[in-house]
Chains A and B, each alone.
Chain A
Amino acid sequence: MMNASEREQSTRAVDFCGIELRHPVINASGTFDAIAARRVYGDALLEDFPFSAFVSKTITPEPRVGNEPQRIWETPAGMINSIGLPNKGLDSFLREDLPQLAELPVPLVVSVMGTSREEFSRLVTGVDEREEVAAFELNVSCPNVHSGLIVGEQPAETLVLLETLRPMTEKPLIVKLTPNVADPAAVAVAAVEGGADAVSLINTLKASAIDPLTGLPGVAAGHGGLSGPAVRPIAVAQVRAVAAAIEAPIVGMGGVSSGADAHELIAAGASLVAVGTESFRDPRAGQRVAEELSKLLPAD
C-alpha cells in the first residue's frame, strides 16, 4: 500500500468549480457509504481513501426506508437496482452523519432530492450553513408533486428549480442529469442557464428484467436503474452531446471500471469521472482507476 505522498505523485490534482481535488476520480452518489465502510475496514479507509471528493447518498427532507426487496438484479455486465433512496432525512443527516463525513480526508458533496421547489429549498438552506460541505449535487430524477413531471426530464422545470436555488447558496451546484430523455443536452443547457456550476451524468437507465423462475420482475418495484459496464457507451455518447452544448464542467460516469474507461469519458468532455458500480466489486476501485488514469493523461 502506498503512503499519502506516493499517492499524490501517482495521480494528478485538478480544480473543479474552485475545489481542489487530488485526482479526477470521485464516487457516484449512492454507491459508497463511507460511514458503513469505516465500520467494516476501520481507519485504513481514511488513510487510503479511494476518491478525491466524497458524494453523499441522496438526502431527502424526511426519512425514507427505501423500496421493498428484492432490490438488485444482476444483468449482463451490469446490474439493475431499485433501492428507493433510503436515508435518515435532513435533520438526522445533519446531526448524525455529517460530523462523521467531515472526518473524511476529502471535500464533501451532499446530494439532495426534493419533490418540490419548497423541499429542495429546505434541503439547500439546511445544508448550506455547514462549512464542512463543499458543494451540492441536485438529484432531479424525481417527480415534482405539483406537476407530476420528473424535473430532470424537463428543461423548463430544471431552469425554474435552479433559478430558485441559486440565490440560496454560494456553494457550487452540480445537477445530476438523467439519461432517460431524448435530449440530455437541452436539460444541461437549462441547468447552466439557471445557475448550475456543473452537471453530472449519467444517472442509471430505466430497466427491467424478468425472473425466469417466477415470470415476475427481478426487482420488486418492477423496474429500476441499470448500471455497470453495459451502460458505458451510452454515457460516452451523452457526455459528448452535453459537452458540445455547455461550457460548464462535467462529471462523467457510467460503467467506469478502469483508467482506460475514465480516460474515454474525459476524452468525451468530462472534467471529473465518478466510479459507481465498480466499487461494489472492488471497494478500492476509485484509487485504482485514478492511478491507471494518471498514466494515460499527457504530462503537464
Chain B
Amino acid sequence: MTAPFGRRRCEVVGSRASGGYRVFSLLDTEGPSPAPGQFYMLATEAHWEQSGGRPFLPRALSVADTAGAGDGIQLDFLIEGIGPGTDRLCELEESEGVWVNGPLGNSFSTPAELHRFSNPPGGELDAVRSGPAGAILVGGGIGIAPLALLRRRFAERNVPTRVLLGFRDEAHSGGLEDLFSCCEVGLASEDGHVGHRGYVTDLLSAMLEGDDAQSAAVYACGPPAMLEAVRAMCAEREVPCELAMESPMACGYGACFGCAVPKPDGGYIRLCVDGPVIRLPAADAGASERGNRA
C-alpha cells in the first residue's frame, strides 16, 4: 500500500506528557495503516518557520502506535524536544493542523522471515528457521517508538515477544505506560532510576546466553552506539537482526539524497527509501546520526 502522493493536513487529536517525553496523536483520514518501522515526515501547519527561520524542513518520526478512529486512523508519535522542530511538535495542541507525508520507508520482518533470509531452506539450520524463540525487541531512549507498534503487531500474530528498553536517566525516558503498558518489559537505565543500572545491551547479552538464542530474532532501535553493540552481539552469536536507523533527512521519499548511510561493501544507501529498517549485514550500524535537524 503506497502513501498518498503529496502532503496532507491531519488534525491533532491528543497530546500528553509521557515521562520525560510526549505522545501526540493525529487523525489521518486518507493514508493507509502504517507498518511497524515506517515513518512520517511532519511539520506543523502554523508557526513552523519560527524566529530565526527554523525549523524549516519537516521532521522524520517513526509511528509508535495506530488504531482505528472515526473515519480514519489515529497515529501516535513519541517525541522528545531536542531542537527547534521537535520542540515545536512538543507544543502541539488539539485541533492544530500538521502537514503529513507518509507512511514512508520499509518495515520490520517477522522472526520466521528473518530466519528464512539468513538460512536458506534445506540448510542444516532448517530446524530453527521458524524462529521458535520469537522476537527480542531492544529499544533505547526515544528509539523505543517503532518497537511499540512492532510489539502490537507481533502480539496480534501470536509471535512470542520479549521487550528490553533502556534509558539514560529519568528526564530522558518515557512512553512506558502509554505504549508498553500491556506487556512485561525488561528495563535498564544508566543512572539506575529504574531497572538494571547500566545499558539495555547488558540485558540483551544475558538473554542471548540462553539455549534458544539462535532461534530468536532481534529488533533494535536507539542511539548509534547501542545499535552497534546490538549488531556486534547478534553477529557473534549468529542471531538474525534488524535495526531501525536514523539519519538526517530533508524529504523522506528519495529526493534529496541527504540520508546516505554507508554500505559495508562501499557506496551508500538512502535510508528513507532503502530503510529505515536495515537487515544485517547491509549497512554500517554505527553510522553517524549527527545533525541539527531535530
Residues of chain A whose beta carbon lies under 8 Å from any beta carbon of chain B: 30-33, 36-37, 39-42, 44-45, 48, 65-67, 69-79, 81, 83, 86, 209, 211, 213-214, 218, 228, 230, 277, 279-284
Inter-chain contact B43/A74, CB cutoff 8 Å: no
Which of chain B's residues 224-249 have a Cβ closer than 8 Å to chain A?
Answer: 247-249
Inter-chain contact B6/A282, CB cutoff 8 Å: yes
Q: How far is the CB of A32 from chain B (nearest CB, A)?
A: 5
Q: Is B70 an interface residue (CB 8 A)?
A: no
Q: Once bound together, how far apart are the Cα atoms of A36 and B256, in whole Å?
A: 11
Residues of B contacting A283 in the complex (Cβ-Cβ under 8 angstroms): 5-7, 101, 251, 253, 255
Q: Is B180 an interface residue (CB 8 A)?
A: no
Q: Which residue of B lies closest to A214 (CB)?
A: B290
Q: Which residue of A lies closest to B41 (CB)?
A: A281
Inter-chain contact A32/B255, CB cutoff 8 Å: yes
Which of B18-26, B186-194, B262-270 is found at the contact surface with chain A?
B262-270
Q: How far is the CB of A4 from chain B (nearest CB, A)?
A: 14
Which of B50-58, B129-137, B138-146, B199-207 is found at the contact surface with chain A?
B50-58
Q: Which residue of B lies closest to A39 (CB)?
A: B273
Inter-chain contact B253/A76, CB cutoff 8 Å: no
CB contact under 8 A between A37 and B268, given known A69-B261, A70-B288, A79-B57? no
CB contact under 8 A between A73 and B291, given known A279-B255, A282-B99? yes
CB-contact partner of B257 in A71, A73, A74, under 8 A: A71
Which of chain B's residues 30-57 have a Cβ closer than 8 Å to chain A?
Answer: 43, 49, 52-57
Give the tally of cross-chain contacts (CB within 8 A): 140
Q: Which residue of B lies closest to A284 (CB)?
A: B6
Q: Is B260 an interface residue (CB 8 A)?
A: yes
CB contact under 8 A between A41 and B250, given known A36-B255, A211-B290? no
CB contact under 8 A between A31 and B255, given known A69-B261, A75-B56, A76-B53? yes
Inter-chain contact A72/B253, CB cutoff 8 Å: no
Q: Which residue of B lies closest to A216 (CB)?
A: B290
Inter-chain contact B288/A69, CB cutoff 8 Å: yes
| Interface class of chain A by DSSP | loop
Q: How far is the CB of A75 from chain B (nearest CB, A)?
A: 7
Inter-chain contact B273/A81, CB cutoff 8 Å: no
Inter-chain contact A230/B268, CB cutoff 8 Å: no
Inter-chain contact B255/A69, CB cutoff 8 Å: no
Residues of B contacting A280 in the complex (Cβ-Cβ under 8 angstroms): 57-58, 250-251, 255-256
Q: Once bound together, how far apart are the Cα atoms of A70 and B2, in whole Å?
A: 29
Residues of chain B whose beta carbon lies under 8 Å from any beta carbon of chain A: 2-7, 43, 49, 52-58, 99, 101, 104, 247-251, 253-262, 266-268, 270, 273, 287-288, 290-293
Residues of A contacting B268 in the complex (Cβ-Cβ under 8 angstroms): 65-66, 69, 86
Inter-chain contact B7/A83, CB cutoff 8 Å: no
Inter-chain contact B3/A69, CB cutoff 8 Å: no
CB contact under 8 A between A74 and B292, given known A79-B56, A283-B255? yes
CB-contact partner of B55 in A37, A74, A277, under 8 A: A74
Q: Which residue of B lies closest to A32 (CB)?
A: B255
Inter-chain contact B293/A83, CB cutoff 8 Å: no
Q: How far is the CB of B150 from chain A (nearest CB, A)?
A: 21
Residues of A contacting B99 in the complex (Cβ-Cβ under 8 angstroms): 281-282
Inter-chain contact B57/A74, CB cutoff 8 Å: yes
Residues of B contacting A72 in the complex (Cβ-Cβ under 8 angstroms): 248-250, 256, 258, 291, 293
Residues of A contacting B247 in the complex (Cβ-Cβ under 8 angstroms): 69
Interchain Cβ contacts under 8 Å between A and B, 23 examples: A36-B270, A41-B5, A42-B2, A48-B6, A66-B268, A70-B248, A72-B249, A72-B250, A72-B258, A72-B291, A73-B291, A74-B56, A75-B53, A79-B56, A79-B250, A86-B260, A228-B56, A277-B250, A280-B58, A280-B255, A281-B251, A282-B6, A282-B7
Given contact pairs A67-B260, A71-B260, a sample of 10 additional A-B residue pairs in the complex whose CB atoms are under 8 Å apart = A33-B254, A40-B2, A65-B268, A69-B287, A72-B258, A74-B57, A76-B54, A76-B56, A86-B257, A283-B5
CB contact under 8 A between A66 and B58, given known A74-B293, A214-B290, A230-B53? no
Q: Which residue of A lies closest to B7 (CB)?
A: A282
Q: Once bound together, how far apart are the Cα atoms of A83 and B57, in whole Å?
A: 17
Residues of A contacting B266 in the complex (Cβ-Cβ under 8 angstroms): 65
Q: Which residue of B lies closest to A48 (CB)?
A: B5
Q: Once bound together, how far apart are the Cα atoms of A79 and B257, in whole Å?
A: 13
Q: Which of B53, B260, B288 has the most CB of A within 10 A?
A: B260
Q: Which residue of A lies closest to B49 (CB)?
A: A77
Q: Once bound together, how far apart are the Cα atoms of A213 and B2, in whole Å?
A: 38
Inter-chain contact A31/B292, CB cutoff 8 Å: no
Q: Once bound together, how far apart are the Cα atoms of A256 and B258, in whole Å?
A: 20
Residues of B contacting A86 in the complex (Cβ-Cβ under 8 angstroms): 257, 260, 268
Inter-chain contact B257/A66, CB cutoff 8 Å: yes
